Amino acid sequence: MDFISDELERFKGRGLLRGLRLLEGEQSSRVRIDGRDVILLSSNNYLGLASHPKVKERAIDAIKRYGCGAGASRLISGNMELHEELEKRIAEFKNTEAALIFNSGYTANIGVIAALCNKCDIVISDRLNHASIIDGSMISRAKTKRYPHKDIYALERALSSSSDYRRRLIVTDGIFSMDGDIAPLPDIVRLAERYSAFLMVDDAHATGVLGEGGRGTGEYFGIEEGIDIQMGTLGKAIGGFGAYIAGEKRLIDLLINKCRSFIYTTGLPPSVLASSLAALDILEEDGHDMRRRLWRNARYLRDGLIRLGFNTMGSETQIIPVLIGDSATTVKISEMLFEEGIYVQGIRPPTVPEGSSRLRITPMATHSIDDLSNALEAFEKVARCYRFSENPI
């Protein structure tokens, strides 16, 4: 087993060793991490729903009524009332014929791509798509073509040179998870139609967040009809856990029959489903206000960071990267901010391309402007060190 120590040493030597941090208490915009009270700027709980009193209450009620576990996979005896209620609710929310719940976004992506494509097909994928899309493409054994980030011309070249494949699946993140920019969906939909390809959009970070009703990137651009397969997660802005695929009923029927990551796993527990149902109720009532606060906070923070001279890459959403470059420096800056009471996680390869290590900053709707101005002060302090030291950081 010595190879394990060797491998860990190699991670360490390259500034890429990862470790877990302990968050005490419940999820909130201010938390205690590793024994220190900090402003949390590294959570995908964008609207603060993870610990909303009504969400907690509904989850507790569901446990009292339905117990804790689903006991089996959905196709055996684990398909309970709340699974069907949530699926119906998501289909309404997304304006689609049907929806299917998955145990996580990761398992949705790996299963769905493999259920729809095999070695006769090609998956055409943005280079910065989430790891679960890359893994799903690999599992499917389809030919995979990754085009440069948001490069519509490269996408068109990939489409025009792939007419020999049986099926062509274009897949893209809606909001890119490490860059915070938005896919050029109107152009992608147009190309999918012109070349008879089908289109899957991963709205993990856009669900509950983008669009007038929080329905995601399709709504934001007014092109929901053009997206064949809409995936979203329930663990980020929705504040719970799990994921969904929304689309035509025949798509959902096929997935129930064929998608291995749906079939061969235990159904989500009732309390988890109830929390998503409660979160969707709250979104319907207060979503507009919550999103307004989230966008206000994101704009305040991004403008402040740019004013301090940081490079926020192409961020146009609540995900605000600050490009650092080198992995070890990124870790050091993240530690300096932590000492100042600001928790911002550094993101390193292989999550992002080599040489593009960054801080990934995510404000929440529940942060006050005070929280964010405190954070900007800490960033200013760090920027001063970083710029004026002989030996940066």
Ligand X SMILES: *Cc1c(COP(=O)(O)O)cnc(C)c1O
Catalytic residue set: 177, 205, 236
Q: Does 181 bind ligand X (CB under 6 A)?
A: no
Pick the binder of ligand X from 42, 125, 217, 233 (CB under 6 A).
233
Residue closer to ligand X, measured from CB, 204 or 331: 204
Residues of span 139-178 touching ligand X by CB under 6 A: 173, 177
Q: Does 362 bind ligand X (CB under 6 A)?
A: no
Residue closer to ligand X, measured from CB, 123 or 382: 123
Q: How far is the CB of 130 from ligand X (least distance, A)?
A: 3
Q: How far is the CB of 102 from ligand X (least distance, A)?
A: 8
Q: Does 235 bind ligand X (CB under 6 A)?
A: yes
What is the residue whose two structure tokens read 């860990």?
A: 8
> How many whole angstroms separate alpha carbon 267 and alpha carbon 74?
5
Q: How far is the CB of 234 from ligand X (least distance, A)?
A: 7
Q: Does 205 bind ligand X (CB under 6 A)?
A: yes
Q: Does 104 bind ligand X (CB under 6 A)?
A: yes
Contact 344, 361 (CB under 8 A): yes
> How many whole angstroms separate alpha carbon 234 and alpha carbon 240?
6
Q: Does 365 bind ligand X (CB under 6 A)?
A: no
Q: Does 267 bind ligand X (CB under 6 A)?
A: no
> How many whole angstroms separate alpha carbon 219 and alpha carbon 22?
37
Neighbours of 119 (CB within 10 A): 11
Q: Does 89 bind ligand X (CB under 6 A)?
A: no
Q: Does 126 bind ligand X (CB under 6 A)?
A: no
Pick the binder of ligand X from 74, 130, 348, 367 (CB under 6 A).
130
Span from 100-108, 141-149, 252-260, 309-317 in contact with ligand X (CB under 6 A): 100-108
Number of residues that bind ligand X (CB under 6 A): 14
Pick the binder of ligand X from 105, 180, 211, 363 (CB under 6 A).
105
CB-based closest residue to ligand X: 105
Q: How far is the CB of 383 from ligand X (least distance, A)?
A: 28
Residue closer to ligand X, measured from CB, 121 or 202: 202
Q: State the residues that interact with ligand X by CB under 6 A.
A: 104-106, 109, 130, 132, 173, 177, 202, 204-205, 233, 235, 243
